[in-house]
Amino acid sequence: MELNFKHNQAAHCENGVTTNLLHHAGIHQITEPLAFGIGAGIFYIHIPFMKINGGPAISFRTMPGRIFSRTCSALGVPVVRKKFSSKTDAQQYLDNCLNAGQPAGCQVGVYYLTYFPKEFRFHFNAHNLVVYGKEDNIYKVSDPVMETVTTISAPDLERVRFAQGALAPKGQIYYPKSAVNITDEQIRKAIVKGIKHASWFMTETPVPMLGVAGIRFTASRIKKWREEVGERKGGLFLAQLVRMQEEIGTGGGGFRFVYAAFLQQAYNFIPNEKLLDVSKQFTTIGDLWRTAAVQASGIYKGRLSSQQEFNVMSDMVMDIAAKEKDAFKSLYNIKWK
């Protein structure tokens, strides 16, 4: 059995799943950048005392599941979301969805994901895909980061749906409850909501590890890495930062380019010149993140090794923080009437 589901490739998995599922529910105005912006996916956090794969815990995107939830709630689309403690129940529920003609979004872990090549398989549990069919115990899968659709066997799907560790998916499944009609006015409201949320979060949260302050925190840590953990490990930490920023699913420049694209598309709904100005600012910021990544690669490839080079890297990130603060402040201060 195969449902009529249109697979569109996206930069980021959750944006893609959200967009594709909403299209399926008849909401065709939503594009990947719109889903990302309305869902306030842009983010920054650097959690001290916590390590991921032995390196710093940094994220450029919001918590898994939030983009879908926020986008749907801002648009007034009712959502079904379920977690399971029993593996059989989880599979049964998925099969029932498919039988009822409903493609389902699933949160999965990447490590045992069979169609990923080994190089990309880490213990990362916040990947998303859509299951849209089943034949002979093989599920048909639309993974938005891939160009085409793919398949996975039932036992393999069960394994990734019940991946363990940080952010364990617990068989989580989600989809829009029913098809709805969305007016442009609703999209306008949702865009405003998304921008308000993200700009508030990035500039106004009084916690030093979150938002723009978090970027400054990372910058100040980078300066100390060489002394604290040594040149090689410091390089590994920077490699981790670059991977979080650029690895599949970010659209490049730590999601900043997707956000710039969102602001451009938002302008089509809300013709406020400010949006285009800030979009340009984010293009510059994304480029700066990439320039910083080049500097970091010099360090982790061992070409650059002095403390001076770590300082340069730190200053670059500090400069980005200042520019992001400007950009998000401009968004935060927009008068929406």
Partner 1 sequence: MKKEEIPQDPSPLDKFTKEVCYAVDDNGKYQAGLSRGWQVKADALGITWQEAQARTADARQKVANGEASPILFFMELNLMDVAIVAAYTGFWQWTVKRHLKPAVFHTLAEKKLQKYADIFDVSINDLKTMNVDGVEF
Task: List interacting residues with partner 1 (CB under 8 A).
Answer: 9-11, 32-33, 53-54, 111, 116-117, 119-120, 122-123, 145-148, 164-165, 168, 235-236, 239-240, 242-243, 246-249, 251-253, 257-258, 260-261, 264-265, 279-280, 283, 286-287, 290, 293-294, 296-297, 300-301
Q: State the nearest-atom distance from the C-beta of 161 to partner 1, in Å.
A: 14
Q: Which is nearer to partner 1, 203 or 289 (CB)?
A: 289
Closest CA to 198 of 35, 42, 27: 42
Which one, 175 or 257, has the nearer CB to partner 1? 257
Q: Which is nearer to partner 1, 158 or 213 (CB)?
A: 158
CB of 181 to partner 1, least distance (A): 26
Closer residue to partner 1 in complex, CB, 62/203: 62
DSSP-derived secondary structure for 164-204: -STT--TT-EEEESS-----HHHHHHHHHHHHHHHHHHHHH
Q: What's the closest the beta carbon of residue 233 comes to partner 1, in angstroms?
A: 9
| Residue number, 15 or 203, with CB nearest to partner 1 | 15
CB neighbour list of residue 260: distance below 8 Å, 6 or more residues apart? 279, 280, 282, 283, 286
| Closer Cβ to partner 1, 80 or 312, answer by number | 312
Beta bridge partners of 128: 107
Whether residue 314 contacts residue 220, with contact meaning beta carbons closer than 8 Å, is answered with: yes
Q: Considering the complex, what minimum distance in angstroms separates the CB of residue 180 from partner 1? A: 26
Q: Is 51 exposed, middle or buried (0-12, 13-18, 19+ CB in 10 A)?
A: exposed
- What strand order describes the sheet that includes 150-153? 79-82, 173-176, 104-108, 127-135, 138-142, 150-153
Q: Which is nearer to partner 1, 101 or 165 (CB)?
A: 165
Looking at beta carbons only, is 203 or 265 nearer to partner 1? 265
Q: How far is the CB of 9 from partner 1 (least distance, A)?
A: 6
In one-letter notation, the amino acid at residue 184 is D
- Amino acid identity of residue 313, one-letter, is M
Q: Tell me which residue of 275, 288, 279 sits closest to 258, measured CA to CA.
A: 279
State both tokens at 81.
């979301």
Question: Smallest gap, in angstroms, from Cβ of residue 232 to partner 1?
Answer: 9
Nearest-approach distance from CB 223 to partner 1, in angstroms: 20
CA separation for the pair 75, 219 (Å, rounded): 37
The tokens for 45 are 């956090």
Instruction: Write down the least CB distance from residue 57 to partner 1, Å.
Output: 13
